[in-house]
Amino acid sequence: MPRMTFAAALIDGLVWALRSDPKAFILGRGMTGHGAEADAQKPLIDEFGDRITDPPTSEQVMTSLGLGAAMAGTPMLIHYGTASFALEAWNQFVNEVGNGHYMSGGQLQAPVVFHVFHGIRGGGGPQHSVSPHAMMANAPGIEIVMPASPADAKGLMRASMKSRNPTFFFNHTMLLGLEDEVPAGDYEIPLGKAAVKRKGRDVTVVALSKMVPEALAAAETLAKSGIDVEVVDLRTLCPLDEATVIESVKRTGRLVVADEGSIICGAASEVAAFVAEKAFAALKAPVQRVARAMVPVPFSPPLEAAVMPGAQQIIDACLRCVKARETISG
Amino acid sequence: MSTLTQEKRLALLTRMLRMRRFEETVIHLALAHSYVGRQHLHIGHETTGAAVGAVMKRGDRIHTTHRNHGFVIAAGADPGKAYAEILGRADGLNGGKGGTWHLCDPEHGIGSTSAMVGGSIALAIGSAWAFKCQKTDNVAFAHFGDGTLDEGIAYESLNMASVFELPVLFLCENNSKAGQRPSSMLAAKALRHVPEALSIPSKLVNGADAEETLAAIDEATRTIRAGKGPVFLEVTLERWPGSHQVNAAFPTGVTDLEMAWDEGKITGKHADWIKRFDPLRLYAKKLAETKEMTRDEILAVDKRVQADIADARKFAEASPFPKVESAFQGAFV
């Protein structure tokens, strides 16, 4: 099977989408960033340069443009760059995009994809490290997609472009260069289906986006201590595949949820809550959340590292679960 | 003397009457039913909607605001289904999901209707973008009030339309009254100086004059369809005294068309508005004075319109509330 970077696979999925739908257009350049993977967007521009427009720095109208155009028969992908920039358009996302189909009584459909880079990237500071997906998950009517592997990036982008609902596609900046096997040709991965990325017996780690490779690394380390970790990649925060998570927790009895967003009211909290509601009897230990500390992301490298969740925090959380009776007090 | 054909004059008057009688029955419904939702009526602004209704064609899109009823009716939506939506009934245009502020009827060109100030102007950019991508000669009509130019998104929208020569007609109803809220607080000498600064051809239009408004909207729409880019029309209108109703009421009374030719009938606190600024009365007066229509003809049109509106009201009042389960459905396709 061919190997591709995450960036190249993302573009491949988008290219297949544009080949399949001659009506779809893109607003915003630089879908693979300005860093090492910048050139990965070349196949997209070579084949579909006439369908890509570079807009003024106007995120609010870009958002309503994407929505309005999609509702009028032109499916759109809107690329903002860094996730923080999309926050300019929060009113549009919540009041127009999320509401559009419902408040029209189903008369209007909006096949629009919004694309951003999220996450702590190394030196991004407080305004360029945001992962706002949980904020968006709390607004009804928007699908949320967060691939963690090149193969998933391609298949989920393909499915997102096909979806008749508004879709917010969050790619982690630090995953763009990740390389792995990617099936050739046209394929899609349905939205709302989590994937077990590592089968395990002792503890379930549910993870999103960059926390998936972090969880897999944590699993490798824990395996040396005889702890067998199952890693479930949620892939989409909305629709959320509760069934796959619950099925895993019923087998392992222990749950760690890992998300790079800020911990309060984050995605990890949502998973912890529905597992507590629907699979309480299966739990042998309290659910553990691994997420970003509740502060703005500082610039200085050791400070940034301290607030950022990763493999070590997942390992610590898994150990807490496994040693629950001995170490958890109160 | 009017340059319109008899047919076009009749159509203009009829649309304006439909819009007016529709809105008056909204007030009747509010008095009869105490329904929830504060209505924003388009009374006194009929010239703009009637003109757009006359010039639009299949595939065009109107993006309007919380003050949408006039445009919705002018575009040809079923008034019964519009009333049903305002009452939150199952047969409403939006199945009861949107209500008075979000009437939607894509079949007649009414796109997503936003009650956020600035919402409509940006959504129109989207429709116009689609028309450009699909290479049609359709027009996106952005309907909004003067307050919209206080919003940042208005600048983004105007700029986007100008940079990409999008087929948008920016229809700004300026009914601002200095010192009265709500009203725009723009640090510009005239609203249209703003789009002019962004290279958008702009024009001031007297919204009290139905035929002048139609001519301006018709001309602008033609140039936009011909691919010449966006146009901004600043249409001045005198705000109707009932524009911001807390409790349903008829501050200027139910419209008496005889006031068009018997000005002795115009009395009361708002006589000045009725006499000088009601565009419907002014148009009926003009048609009667120039003998383009007889008084009897004008009254006959009104009678037909009122009968249609009465039927629409009955339809809506007979419509049941939607099934409760539907509240949880329809967030996604």
H-assigned helices in B183-244: 193-197, 210-225
Q: Tens digit of pLDDT for each residue in B179-190?
A: 676 678 888 889
Q: Residue B95: its chain A contacts at CB < 8 A?
A: 105-106
Express each pLDDT in B198-241 by its tens digit: 999 999 999 999 999 999 999 999 999 999 999 999 999 999 99
A127/A216 same-domain check = no
Does residue A118 form part of some domain?
A: yes
Contacts of B157 in chain A (CB under 8 A): 61, 64
Q: What is the DSSP letter of A88?
A: G
Q: Would the pLDDT of B245 be above 90?
A: no
Residues 6 or more apart whose Cβ sits within 8 Å of residue B66 = B40, B100, B101, B113, B115
Q: Which of A54-63, B2-11, B167-176, B280-289 has the lowest mean pLDDT?
A: B2-11
pLDDT in tens, B131-174: 999 999 999 999 999 999 999 999 999 999 999 999 999 999 99
Classify residue A188: in a domain, yes or no. Answer: no
Judge whether B256 lies within some domain: no
Helix (H/G/I), strand (E/B), else coil: B172: strand
* Pair (A176, A220) in one structural domain: no
Give, in order, the Cα–Cα distances in Å from B272 to each of A171, B17, B238, B259, B269.
Answer: 61, 21, 11, 12, 8
Query: Are A169 and A130 in a shared domain?
Result: yes
pLDDT of residue B182: 66
Among B92, B130, B156, the residue with its CB nearest the CB of A72 is B130
The reply to whether A75 and A171 lie within a common domain is yes
Whether A69 sits inside 8 A of B111 (CB atoms) is no
Q: Is A74 inside any structural domain?
A: yes
One-letter amino acid at A184 equals: A
Domain of A175, CATH number, reads: 3.40.50.970
Please give the mean pLDDT across all residues of chain B. 95
Smallest Cβ distance to A69: which of B93, B97, B127? B127
Q: Using N-to-C axis directions, what is the helix angle for B152-163 and A59-71, rounded to 10°?
A: 70
Same domain? A143 vs A250: no
Q: Cβ atoms within 10 A of the Cβ of B289, count?
A: 10
Neighbouring residues of B24: CB distance < 8 A, sequence distance ≥ 6: B43, B250, B254, B255
Q: Comparing C-alpha atoms, which of B317, B324, B287, B328 is closest to residue B14?
A: B287
Assembly ipTM? 0.95
Q: Which residue of A25, A53, A61 to mutate against B (max B Cβ within 10 Å)? A: A61
Distance of CA A257 to the CA centre of its chain: 14
Q: Are residues A132 and A13 in the same domain?
A: yes
Using CB atoms, pick whichever of B93, B126, B330 lies closest to residue A71.
B126
Looking at A181, A208, A235, the residue that finishes a domain is: A181
User: Which residue of B72, B120, B153 to mutate against A (max A Cβ within 10 Å)?
Assistant: B153
Residue with tokens 């109107």: B62
CATH number where A204 lies: 3.40.50.920
- Strands of A126-194 (E only): list them: 143-145, 167-172, 179-181
Same-domain check for residues A210 and A100: no
Residues A106 and A155 in one domain: yes
B127 interfacial to chain A (CB closer than 8 Å): yes
Q: Name the domain count of chain A.
A: 2
Query: Quick one: pLDDT at residue A142?
Result: 98
Last residue of some domain: A156, A181, A206?
A: A181
Same domain assignment for residues A43 and A117: yes
Q: For the segment B64-75, what is each residue's pLDDT rounded down to a tens digit?
A: 999 999 999 999
Residue B257 placed within a domain: no
Q: Please determine, for residue B177, whether its predicted confidence score (pLDDT) is greater than 80.
A: no
Bond before A126 cis per omega within 30 degrees: no
B168 φ/ψ angles, rounded to the nearest 5 degrees: -120, 135
A208 and A154 fall within a common domain: no
Using the predicted structure, report yes or no on whether residue A326 has a pLDDT greater than 70. no
Which residue range(s) make up the domain with A145? 3-181
Q: What is the pLDDT of residue A330?
A: 43
* pLDDT, mean of residues A136-150: 97
Question: Cα angle vertex A182, ends A181, A188, to 5°?
Answer: 150
For residues A240 and A114, membership in a common domain is answered with no
Mutate to test the interface with A, among B123, B139, B170, B321 (most CBs of A within 10 A): B123
Q: Which two tokens stand for residue B216?
A: 């301006």
Residues contacting A277, CB < 8 A, separation 6+: none
Q: Is the CB of residue A284 less than 8 Å from the CB of residue A254?
A: yes
Is residue A67 one of the residues assigned to a domain? yes
Q: What is residue B1's predicted lDDT score, i.e. its pLDDT? A: 54
Tell me, yes or no, whether A312 lies in a domain: yes
Tokens at B114, concatenated: 């936003």
* More confident call, A301 vs A324: A301
Interface of A with B in 57-76 (CB under 8 A): 58, 60-61, 63-74, 76
pLDDT in the model for residue B36: 64
Where is the domain boundary, A119, A150, A181? A181
A218 pLDDT higher than 90? yes
Residue B108 tokens, joined = 């007649």
Q: Which residues does chain B have within 8 Å of residue A69's beta carbon, measured at their own beta carbons? A: 126-127, 129-130, 133
What pLDDT, on a 0 to 100 scale, did the predictor assign at position A328?
A: 45
Q: How many domains does chain B have?
A: 1
Tokens found for residue A61:
């109208």
Does A172 map to a domain?
A: yes
Same domain, A82 and A208: no
Contact of B212 with B233, CB cutoff 8 Å: no
- Is residue B117 within 8 A of residue B78, CB to CB? The reply is no
Q: Residue B288 domain-assigned? A: no
- The CATH number that applies at residue B28 is 3.40.50.970
Query: Shortest CA distance to B321 belongs to which of B127, B87, B143?
Result: B87
- Is residue B229 situated within a structural domain? yes
Closest-CA distance, B59 to chain A, in angstroms, reads 9
The verdict on residue B132 lying in a domain is yes
Mean pLDDT of A168-177: 98
- Please spell the DSSP secondary structure of A261-321, one letter per residue: EESTT-HHHHHHHHHHHHSGGG-SS--EEEEE-SSPPPSSHHHHHHHS--HHHHHHHHHHH
Which residue range(s) make up the domain with B153? 6-246+295-318
Give the whole-angstrom CA distance, residue B300 versus residue B306: 10
**pLDDT value at residue A327:** 46
Asked whether residue A186 is assigned to any structural domain, the reply reads no
**Residue A270: inside a domain, yes or no?**
yes
For A47, the token pair is 């084949």
Mean pLDDT of chain A: 96
A128 assigned to active site: yes
In a domain, B326, yes or no: no
